[in-house]
Amino acid sequence: MTKKPLRNHKFDQIDDAERPRHVAPGGRSGCWERPQVVAVGRRSRLVRRSQIDTTRATSGCRCGEVALRSGSDFALSLLGAGATSPCRSRRSLRSVNGERPRGLALGGAARGASTPARRLSLQRHSGSLTSSGLAREPSDQSDNGGGKMKGLFKSKPRTPADIVRQTRDLLLYADRSKSLPDLRESKREEKMAELSRNIRDMKSILYGNSEAEPVAEACAQLTQEFFREDTLRLLITCLPKLNLETRKDATQLVANLQRQQVNSRLIASDYLEANLDLMDVLMEGFENTDLALHYGAMFRECIRHQIVARYVLESEHVKKFFDYIQLPNFDIAADAAATFKELLTRHKSTVAEFLTKNEDWFFTDYNSKLLESSNYITRRQAIKLLGDILLDRSNSAVMTRYVSSRDNLRILMNLLRESSKSIQIEAFHVFKLFAANQNKPADIINILVANKSKLLRLLADLKPDKEDERFEADKSQVLREIAALEPRDLA
């Protein structure tokens, strides 16, 4: 066939060479590799024509060796077992067959010109060419492309509402898992671990962490979504299935949600008003040793809402506290006592209404089960709480009726004789109401007169551990009232 020169390329005319099928004829072709030919691209960023120097046959240079003029003694042997034919020209590399080594392209424009077995990457570094090795990873350009692809599929940050919805789904799964025994244990553990993380994340949103304070908008979103559906009910129901740390997080989460306001409104109160039966579930929790403290803390926070406190006071639940306070487990008994105190002191108008309607059975049980209990802690807590109730102005009518009872006076006089000074001090604050009452019934006066000498001697020796001017003033007034009493005939 007719021999034609290859135009627009940087190759000299090669004998017996024809244009390969896959090489574009243009001088800017993206692929400079011809079969068994090495191309040096005119626009190559890596190797310039001036940087390649091949020696003539007389210099002993073997075909396929490349020398760099930059002063570097770096040389690459392009052929594993090269031919011995000398190079014919300074601008071309020839083998014994008049062809260039196969499978190697020198030039920045050669994309995909290397074979899998042998790829060479040349980089310019500090004014010289260096080799980065064979079988190199794709170029930085492809790496950047991969980074962009990763960015496209990056997961979106979850909003507080998303976390609540996902938590609700996981709670539904946990609630159903007991009825599906064929579920794999590994899958169940994975779901429960995810549930624990979500509860911890919600707690962090509401309380903040060491790095950031809670954000009001995020708290509002979480609170709205939490009470939009029965997430609270699911959390209370599934509490026994959670581990100890997650129970603690859940308890703190519920406690904080009772205080969260959305548009200046406590939406937790609205939710509980429509779901008052949840208080029945929490009350039953006091009877479970493992869950009593968690349910008790939730219960105590829920009765911050007046509508909830009224429901509990008007139910039979309030009577159960007299038993819970005397449980042998000290922690549970103390927690029940704290809840009982919160119930009887927070909402004053509701408590006054309750005591007015139920003072007969309430104080009868209070005296017999708490004030006369054999447990020292129970007596001490009960007498202190009694003083808080009676000394509150909203309960003045209840207090007047209480101090008119001789049975109540008898119990208080016995508490004044306790060996514990703490109980004596607390009993004095209630006893002074009997002495200061200006409308004492005759039977009360006669009891005080009959025990006048003992009371005067006992009260004179009663002193708090720390100096208290108010206490001393009250004591002096009581001593004067008792000393001035005279017996009175019963009507």
Cβ contacts of 176 within 8 Å, gap of 6 or more? none
Reported as a single tens digit per residue, the pLDDT across 37-68 is 444 444 444 444 444 444 443 444 444 444 44
The whole-model pTM stands at 0.66
Q: What is the dihedral of CA 115, 118, 123, 127, to 10 degrees?
A: -130
Q: What is the pLDDT of residue 447?
A: 93
Q: What is the pLDDT of residue 189?
A: 86
Q: What is the pLDDT of residue 467?
A: 83
**b/e per residue, 48-78, with b = 16+ CB within 10 A?**
beebbebeeeeeebbbbbbbbeeeeeeeeeb
Q: What is the pLDDT of residue 154?
A: 54
Q: What is the pLDDT of residue 329?
A: 92
Residues in the chain where the model's pLDDT stays below 70: 1-155, 177-183, 489-491
Give dist(CA 402, CA 393) in Å, integer.
14
Give dist(CA 53, CA 472) in Å, integer.
112
Q: What is the pLDDT of residue 113?
A: 41
Q: What is the pLDDT of residue 305?
A: 95
Q: Report how far Cα 231 is from the mean position of its chain's Cα atoms.
A: 16
Cβ contacts of 336 within 8 Å, gap of 6 or more? 286, 296, 321, 324, 325, 327
Q: Give the 3-state secondary structure of 366-391.
A: HHHHHHCCCCHHHHHHHHHHHHHHHC
* Short-list 316, 215, 293, 219, CA closest to 258: 219
State which amino acid sits at residue 206: L
Longest dimension (CA), the chain: 150
Torsion over CA: 162, 164, 170, 175 (sign): negative
Q: What is the pLDDT of residue 229?
A: 86
* Short-list 327, 326, 247, CA closest to 289: 327
Q: What is the pLDDT of residue 464?
A: 87
The token pair that represents 444 in the structure block: 């009360």
State which amino acid sits at residue 332: I
- Specify the length of the chain in residues: 491
Q: What is the pLDDT of residue 80?
A: 42
Burial of 408 (C-beta count, 10 Å sphere; 0-12/13-18/19+): buried
